[in-house]
């Protein structure tokens, strides 16, 4: 029998990444220094979502390549989470006027590309990126698939952080204007997601030594910071999700986290906790703001750090309660997770690597 391995550092960073997403949506340092907040929320915190994509690329893609039924089951699960999330935020979106005057085409764009609420873009992006990369890996050699993903990311860069470098009179500019009629951002499942799924997958084949990864991570972080500052000063950004040096940062960051593995399972918190924090935190942003207005405790809105802390703590508590309630419900209903049969159409070494990793399918 093959011993399974567990990655507690990956689990811990999943929780940190969920709190970084809250930082992106609350700008915690604005009251202290707008410049510091930009560095935190618009540059450094941008590692959060790519990290979640790399988790899927590392733990899910190899199994999906081995067995198509496994990949289809994964996509169905993410689709179900998305449907539930859309239903949860539909009343809020209607109240906020997000669907006012929207036609059928606009609504379809929201559902399949942009997300029906501002944080839900991640789920359709994951589904689309997964659906794009899986056939690429099956049809092309690994370097060729990586080249395609890199080219897609390059196209996305000039619709995001490098948008201002395109001349408004150029033909390329008119192309991007056409693209923005199809979707709101190039930070989506076509241009943004595949490269990070790919980077996660490549680390299942080979990864750098811990010493090399650590040193390269420090240098990459410095370059990412410099890139973000220069683009801000140049006023080049249409959005601020996509950076060139985000790619090496994510590759080496994930590599260092993989070094912390053990044959013994270390349960520090419920598996779905980071996912629930991610999905629920906009509700708690609304609740904190509404509660501060009712109670006259405007400090929790006016002070950005207090606002972030209130949202983060309440979202953590709410997500923790939800995980406990679901665990009780599963025990009472006798729910058991069904295993997906493996077709065995990959070589033995691939099957062994997949068996040695735990299944981190929940982002």
134 and 260 share one domain: yes
Given 239, 268, 297, the domain boundary residue is 268
218 and 331 share one domain: no
User: Between these two residues, 347 and 46, which has the higher pLDDT value?
Assistant: 46
55 and 17 share one domain: no
SS (H, E, C) 168-194: CCCHHHHHHHHHHHHCCCCCCCCCCHH
Q: How far apart are alpha carbons 260 and 214 in whole angstroms? A: 13
**Phi, psi (degrees; rounded to nearest 5) at 5:** -120, 145
Q: pLDDT class for 111, splitting at 50, 70, 90?
A: very high
**Phi, psi (degrees; rounded to nearest 5) at 266:** -115, 105
Tokens of 287: 């609740």
Kindly report the number of other CB atoms within 10 A of residue 324's CB atom: 11
What pLDDT does 270 receive? Answer: 85
55 and 22 share one domain: no
| Residue 262, strand partner residues | 6
**Phi, psi (degrees; rounded to nearest 5) at 59:** -100, -25
| Residue 5, strand partner residues | 357
31, 195, 281, 292 from 296: Cα distances, Å: 19, 46, 22, 6
Tell whether the model's pLDDT for residue 355 goes beyond 70.
no
183 and 96 share one domain: yes
246 and 275 share one domain: no
What pLDDT does 261 receive? Answer: 84
Tokens of 132: 């794009």
What pLDDT does 331 receive? Answer: 86
279 burial (CB, 10 Å; 0-12 / 13-18 / 19+) is buried
Pick from 290, 292, 283: nearest CA to 315: 283
Tokens of 218: 């420090």
The three-state secondary structure class of 1 is: coil
Q: How far apart are alpha carbons 262 and 177 in whole angstroms? A: 50
What pLDDT does 357 receive? Answer: 55
What pLDDT does 2 receive? Answer: 54
Query: Looking at the 3D structure of the chain, how many domains does it have?
Result: 2
Over range 116-135, report the average pLDDT.
96
Asked, for residue 276, whether it belongs to a domain, the answer is yes
What pLDDT does 187 receive? Answer: 96
Q: How far apart are alpha carbons 136 and 78 in whole angstroms? A: 20
Tell whether the model's pLDDT for residue 352 goes beyond 70.
no
What pLDDT does 112 receive? Answer: 93
What pLDDT does 354 receive? Answer: 52
60 and 145 share one domain: yes
258 and 283 share one domain: no
What pLDDT does 346 receive? Answer: 44
**Phi, psi (degrees; rounded to nearest 5) at 347:** -75, 170
Q: What average pLDDT is seen over the chain?
A: 91
Over range 290-302, report the average pLDDT.
94
Range of the domain at 116: 33-268
Over range 114-131, report the average pLDDT.
96
Over range 237-256, report the average pLDDT.
98
Q: pLDDT class for 359, splitting at 50, 70, 90?
A: very low
The answer to whether residues 48 and 119 touch, using CB atoms and an 8 Å cutoff, is no
Pick from 83, 133, 147: nearest CA to 279: 83
Tell whether the model's pLDDT for residue 274 goes beyond 60.
yes
Residue position matching structure tokens 């991570």:
217
131 and 206 share one domain: yes
What pLDDT does 342 receive? Answer: 43
Asked, for residue 329, whether it belongs to a domain, the answer is yes
191 and 294 share one domain: no
The answer to whether residues 51 and 254 touch, using CB atoms and an 8 Å cutoff, is yes
The gap from C-alpha 71 to its chain's centroid, in whole angstroms, comes to: 18
pLDDT in tens, 137-176: 999 999 999 999 999 999 999 999 999 999 888 999 999 9
Tell whether the model's pLDDT for residue 341 goes beyond 50.
no
pTM for this entry = 0.91
Q: How far apart are alpha carbons 333 and 327 in whole angstroms? A: 10
Q: How far apart are alpha carbons 247 and 268 in whole angstroms? A: 29
Pick from 124, 106, 104: nearest CA to 115: 124
250 and 288 share one domain: no
Asked, for residue 118, whether it belongs to a domain, the answer is yes
224 and 311 share one domain: no
Q: How far apart are alpha carbons 188 and 186 in whole angstroms? A: 5
């Amino acid at each position: 029998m093959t011993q399974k391995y567990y990655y507690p550092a990956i689990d811990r960073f999943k929780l940190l990444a969920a709190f970084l997403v809250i930082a992106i949506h609350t700008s915690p340092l604005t009251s202290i220094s707008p410049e510091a907040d930009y560095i935190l929320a618009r540059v450094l915190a941008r590692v959060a979502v790519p990290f979640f994509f790399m988790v899927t690329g590392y733990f899910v893609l190899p199994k999906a390549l081995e067995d198509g039924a496994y990949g289809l089951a994964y996509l169905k699960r993410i689709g179900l989470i998305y449907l539930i999330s859309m239903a949860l935020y539909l009343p809020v979106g209607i109240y906020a006027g997000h669907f006012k005057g929207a036609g059928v085409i606009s609504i379809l764009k929201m559902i399949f590309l942009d997300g029906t609420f501002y944080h839900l873009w991640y789920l359709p992006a994951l589904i689309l990126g997964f659906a794009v990369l899986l056939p690429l890996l099956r049809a092309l050699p690994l370097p060729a698939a990586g080249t395609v993903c890199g080219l897609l990311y390059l196209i996305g860069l000039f619709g995001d952080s490098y948008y201002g470098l395109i001349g408004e009179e150029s033909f390329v500019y008119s192309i991007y204007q056409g693209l923005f009629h199809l979707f709101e951002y190039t930070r989506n499942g076509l241009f943004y997601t595949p490269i990070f799924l790919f980077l996660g997958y490549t680390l299942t084949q080979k990864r750098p030594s811990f010493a090399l990864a650590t040193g390269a991570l420090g240098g990459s972080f410095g370059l990412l910071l410099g890139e973000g500052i220069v683009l801000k000063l140049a006023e080049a950004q249409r959005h601020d999700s996509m950076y060139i040096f985000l790619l090496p940062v994510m590759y080496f960051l994930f590599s260092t986290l993989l070094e912390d593995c053990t044959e013994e399972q270390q349960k520090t918190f419920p598996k779905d906790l980071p996912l629930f924090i991610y999905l629920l935190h906009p509700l708690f942003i609304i609740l904190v703001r509404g509660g501060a207005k009712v109670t006259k405790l405007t400090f929790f809105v006016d002070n950005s750090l207090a606002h972030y802390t209130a949202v983060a703590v309440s979202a953590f508590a709410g997500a923790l309660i939800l995980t406990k309630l679901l665990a009780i419900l599963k025990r009472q209903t006798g729910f058991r997770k069904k295993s997906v049969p493996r077709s065995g159409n990959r070589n033995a070494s691939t099957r062994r690597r997949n068996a040695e990793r735990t299944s981190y399918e929940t982002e």
